[in-house]
């Protein structure tokens, strides 16, 4: 690989780390990749452009996930509080179907309560004798993955359906998609390579979509399918959003990126989901 087109190549490897950067060097290898021979014309500059694309791509994706996470927390808490008439429903074992799973969740909540430095938790401990604060406070200190597990264990299927239907989904699809969202969130938070990552987890799909979806098959496990999941949520949470325009702008900025490696299909912009 030619590194002469990049100033301070040694410092770049030091600041990023060879192992992290090697994930962006991999697409430039000849087949078979195990021979570690680069294609003719491969440059360090090209790998760095791919690295910078992935960094901006993660930022775009995480911006959507932030909206989704906040909206899901709000929907679960508001709907369950309204339906159960119990502001402490998260810490009430009667709200859940499986006691063992409830106890495991409460162990996680106990740890968060002990270590939280949030002002509202400190104020609650100083002001009230209740062992746990209202559910909307607990929801703010537990990870979104844990909150999804809380949702799964809600005893009332009617409540679970109402929450899932708020996002235009069935209960199984909502759980499946929130798992994908959580895994993607974790990748973004740990600055992991995202653009061509392959997920072994396969998401459930809608048989009778309540909203515009995809008319053609999309490869499972690739990031484009994740983008479709995010688009579905964001269109409900924030209509007239600029997610599609921002994505197109980013792809145009980095034309060297192989979108097929990301799972994009031809004319993806014209799919029903992406046309609204």
Contact 96, 175 (CB under 8 A): no
Residue 4 has what pLDDT? 78
How many whole angstroms separate alpha carbon 209 and alpha carbon 87? Answer: 33
Report the pLDDT value the prediction gives residue 13, as an integer from 0 to 100. 84
Mean pLDDT taken over the chain: 94
Which residues, other chains included, contact 266 with Cβ-Cβ below 8 Å and sequence gap of 6+? none
pLDDT at position 56: 98
pLDDT of residue 276: 84
pLDDT of res. 170: 96
144 within 8 A of 72, measured Cβ to Cβ:
yes
pTM given for the model? 0.92
> Which of helix, strand or coil describes residue 218?
coil
Residue 3 has what pLDDT? Answer: 81
Provide mean pLDDT across the span 104-119. 95
Reply yes or no on whether the pLDDT at 200 is more than 90.
no
> What's residue 54's pLDDT?
97
| Cβ density class 85-106: b for 16+ within 10 Å, e for less | ebebbbbeeebbeeeeebeebb
Q: Which residues pair with 154 in a beta bridge?
A: 96
What is residue 5's predicted lDDT score, i.e. its pLDDT? 67
pLDDT average, residue stretch 123-133: 95
């Amino acid at each position: 690989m030619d590194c002469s087109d990049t100033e301070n190549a040694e410092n770049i490897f030091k600041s990023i780390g060879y192992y992290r950067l090697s994930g962006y060097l991999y697409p430039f290898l000849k087949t078979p990749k195990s021979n570690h021979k680069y294609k003719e014309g491969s440059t360090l500059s090209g790998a760095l452009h791919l690295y910078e694309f992935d960094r901006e791509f993660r930022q775009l994706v995480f911006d959507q996930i932030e909206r989704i996470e906040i909206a899901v927390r709000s929907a679960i808490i508001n709907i369950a509080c309204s339906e159960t008439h119990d502001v402490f429903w998260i810490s009430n074992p009667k709200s859940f179907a499986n006691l063992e799973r409830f106890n495991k969740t409460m162990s996680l909540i106990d740890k968060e309560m002990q270590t939280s430095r949030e002002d509202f938790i400190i104020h609650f401990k100083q002001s009230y004798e209740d062992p746990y604060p209202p559910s909307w406070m607990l929801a703010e200190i537990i990870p979104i993955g844990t909150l999804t597990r809380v949702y799964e264990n809600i005893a009332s299927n009617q409540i679970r359906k109402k929450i899932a239907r708020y996002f235009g989904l069935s209960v199984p699809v909502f759980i499946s998609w929130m798992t994908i969202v959580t895994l993607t969130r974790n990748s973004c938070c740990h600055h992991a390579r995202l653009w061509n990552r392959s997920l072994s987890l396969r998401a459930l799909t809608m048989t009778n979509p309540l909203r515009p979806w995809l008319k053609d098959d999309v490869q499972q496990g690739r990031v484009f399918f994740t983008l479709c999941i995010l688009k579905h949520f964001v269109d409900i949470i924030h209509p007239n959003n600029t997610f599609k325009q921002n994505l197109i702008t980013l792809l145009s900025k980095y034309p060297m990126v192989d979108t097929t490696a990301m799972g994009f299909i031809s004319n993806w912009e014209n799919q029903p989901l992406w046309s609204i």
